[in-house]
A and B are shown apart, each in its own frame.
Chain A
Amino acid sequence: MKQTTSLIHKLVRAASVALLWLTAAAPANAAGPSRIVSVGGALTEIVYALDSAERLVGVDSTSLAPAEAKALPQVGYMRTLSAEGVLSLRPDLLLASAHAGPPAVLEKLRAAGVRIETLAEDYSAAGITAKIGTIAALLDKPEQGRALAGQVQADFDRLAQWRAQQDEQPKVLFLMAVAHGAPLASGHGTAADAMLTLAGATNAVGELQGNKPIGTEAMVAAAPDVILLTDVAANAIGGLEAFYRQPGIAQTPAGRQRKVFVVDTLALLGFGLHSGQAVLELAKRLHDEPAVAADAGAGR
């Protein structure tokens, strides 16, 4: 009796080992890395778009799209990674945005034998297609990569075409935050500035470098035709109406004509797969169609 049970145990164990071996071997059929940690929202989105989500074992907190990505193990904010935390996911590839860090942690991961591919952050269509190309090559999906890059390029081409037909460049002020005293305006060298250029607009505070707090008077002096608020900033201040009541806003052309728009920061500033479409939509709103202008004028 004892003999039989131990034999059964042995058989069960052998079977489960075989099963484990089979399941473990399955992902190895697909070429390229099979345990990827992706650090950077745009990168995660590209992995999903290349139908390789099953290879992701972890993402950072900026990976908010698609919604399924949020269910994956979180390695935290891209700039404050933890070496052991990432290693615990046993990745064979770390897809890292150029912003990922801290450098000492990346150095440790590299020393521990993790392959790290750093993807440049460049606020342009070429930057996005370059990311797609690199990731598609790593995942061994060059065909799908080319198709995806083609779609992104087509969006941006449409945007460029539309932009060429416009002869006016509205002056736009982009505010990252409005709480805590002076609002934080996006100047030269920011993702918002690149997005405004793509949308055929002029940055009203283009002479500033980076995101800088701006005084009420300076905001009036900048005389923006349109003010863009991030969704986070709009919520923080208590909605658009509350923003119109802020000191100085009524003295700007944008405030007078009630042209303050709340924008989806993620789609516009993430410079990912959908940025081309998102910027085109925004561009049309900025160069107001007659119907919109009449509507806005009524609120004066």
Chain B
Amino acid sequence: MTMHAAMAAAGPRLWLKPALSRAGLCWLLALLLAVAALAALGSGAVAISAGQAAAIVADRFGIALPWPFGADQQAVLLAIRAPRLVLGLLVGGALAASGAAMQGLFRNPLADPALIGVSSGAALAAVAVIVLRDSLFGAVAGAFGAYLLPVAAITGGFGVSWLVYRLADSGDRLDVASLLLSGIAINALAGSATGLLVYLADDDQLRSLTFWSLGSLNGAGWDGVAIGAPFLLANLLLLPWLADALNALLLGEAEAGHLGFPVERIKTGVVALVALGVGAAVALSGVIGFVGLVVPHLLRLALGPDHRWLLPASALLGALLLIGSDYLARSLAAPAEIPIGIVTGLLGSPFFLWLLFRQKLMGH
């Protein structure tokens, strides 16, 4: 019996009756994502028709299309909407894929990327920069300029998850339960330190901090994408590579070891990749809750627990959810804007609840 057959037999059939094959569902998600990306590119507060959007993009590659557009439309599309879309795709994908990987690693559907301290660490560093910028970071702030905040947040995210990891690592073995506990402890500590900084903040700083608690893709530019893309892409491209190993881990660590997987290296790899992706995501878009927890959970109901499908599908649905939410965030109150964390929560949780109750009624 192959490992996957063993897993399918051993794992409880929690997922719903498939109306589509797993490949079909992934293709459908990819198609929806492509449509949503084009729609996001073609709609917003400034009127740009789909044809014009296509013409502007084609123009960048030296192709002339028969839809005339203005210089201001070109600027809006290329400098504001396009980087925002790219960031939304990468952040949404990385958050959801990280969630799927964490749930696999902890063998618990309630696991969330934030568990290893990366979000609280990034938020702590960002808040520290905002509050202490003038008093502590004077010289550094000058050298880094606008990059100080994202760079500090990425560093803070890595730093705190490294600490969580070290605390759980007994030298030869990473104990997942210890990882969970040290994550909880360090998260609480980072949260308190953030609270202390918030207490010290003046009114202006306090209001700048709201961004970090609710998240936003507002203000995303190509420079931000350039900082975050290497980390986010590493997360998105390398996590699926560990899918077989995560599947094996579902059977238990000893079993995975017997199947020939280098269990300790895999656990370290998952933690490192999640820290990379989520750290960069938080640095560039604040703390966007819900996506990492619920997207993989939802897909597990539809696809089953096989990470070979779960990881790419989570990335697709996470990206779809985030750019859809961002579209609503920037268009519902236009020309004003709603923080995206509010939209992801409002969109996702009722659907999630409906799914849970449906499952309950079906007798699971």
Residues on A close to B: CB < 8 A?
A: 58, 61, 73-77, 79-90, 99, 101-105, 107-108, 111-113, 189-190, 209-213
Contacts and interface: CB of A to CB of B under 8 A. Distances in A.
Contact of A82 (B201, B208, B211, B336): B336
B46 A87 contact: yes
Given A80-B218, A105-B218, A85 B330 contact: yes
Interface in B31-75: 44-47, 72, 75
Contact of A75 (B218, B219, B336): B336
With most chain B CB atoms within 10 A of its CB, the pick from A108, A209, A212 is A108
Contacts of B334: 82, 85, 88
Contacts of B216: 80
22 contacts: A75-B335, A77-B336, A80-B336, A82-B218, A85-B45, A85-B330, A85-B335, A87-B72, A87-B76, A87-B80, A88-B46, A88-B47, A99-B207, A101-B208, A103-B146, A104-B220, A107-B221, A108-B80, A112-B79, A189-B202, A210-B202, A211-B202
Binding site of A, secondary structure by majority: helix, strand, loop or mixed? loop
Question: How big is the B interface, by class?
Answer: 20 to 34
B58 to A, nearest CB: 21
B349 interface: no
B44 A84 contact: yes
A213 B210 CA distance: 18
A295 to B, nearest CB: 35
Interface string B205-238: 0011011000010111100100000000000000
Contacts of B76: 84, 87, 112
Contacts of A61: 336
A87 B74 CA distance: 12
A38 B339 CA distance: 22
Contacts of B172: none
Contacts of B75: 111-113
Interface string B193-209: 00000010111100110
Given A74-B336, A80-B337, A89-B335, A104 B221 contact: yes
B81 interface: yes
Contacts of A209: 202
B335 A111 contact: no
Contact of B203 (A73, A89, A211, A213): A211
B219 A84 contact: no
B221 A82 contact: no
B208 A84 contact: no
B12 to A, nearest CB: 44
B208 A102 contact: yes
Contacts of B333: 74, 76
Nearest to A80: B337
Given A82-B337, A102-B208, 16 more contacts: A74-B333, A76-B337, A79-B210, A80-B218, A82-B218, A82-B335, A84-B46, A84-B330, A85-B336, A87-B80, A99-B204, A102-B211, A102-B219, A112-B79, A189-B202, A190-B203
A112 B72 contact: yes
Given A99-B204, A105-B218, A210-B203, A84 B210 contact: no
Contact of A104 (B72, B146, B204, B335): B146
Contacts of B337: 76, 80-82, 85
Interface of B: 44-47, 72, 75-76, 79-81, 146, 199, 201-204, 207-208, 210-211, 216, 218-221, 224, 330, 333-337, 339
Top 10 nearest A-B pairs (CB, nearest first) are A76-B336, A85-B335, A88-B45, A104-B219, A82-B337, A210-B202, A88-B46, A85-B45, A84-B45, A75-B335
Nearest to A212: B199
A84 B211 contact: no
A124 B303 CA distance: 64
B334 to A, nearest CB: 5
Contacts of A107: 146, 221
A108 B45 contact: no
Given A75-B336, A76-B337, A189-B202, A84 B81 contact: yes
A80 B211 CA distance: 8
A105 B336 CA distance: 12
A108 B202 contact: no
Given A73-B335, A102-B211, A104-B146, A84 B203 contact: no
B219 to A, nearest CB: 3
Given A76-B336, A76-B337, A82-B218, A87 B211 contact: no
A83 B218 contact: yes
A29 to B, nearest CB: 24
B114 to A, nearest CB: 23
A82 B45 contact: yes
A76 B335 contact: yes
Nearest to B334: A85
A212 B198 CA distance: 11
Nearest to B333: A76
A112 B77 CA distance: 11
Contacts of B210: 79-80
A130 B82 CA distance: 39
B73 to A, nearest CB: 10
Contacts of A76: 333, 335-337
Contacts of A80: 210-211, 216, 218, 336-337, 339
B218 A111 contact: no
A75 B47 CA distance: 16
Contact of A84 (B80, B201, B202, B204): B80
Contacts of B208: 79, 101-102
A37 to B, nearest CB: 9
A73 B45 CA distance: 12
A86 B146 CA distance: 22
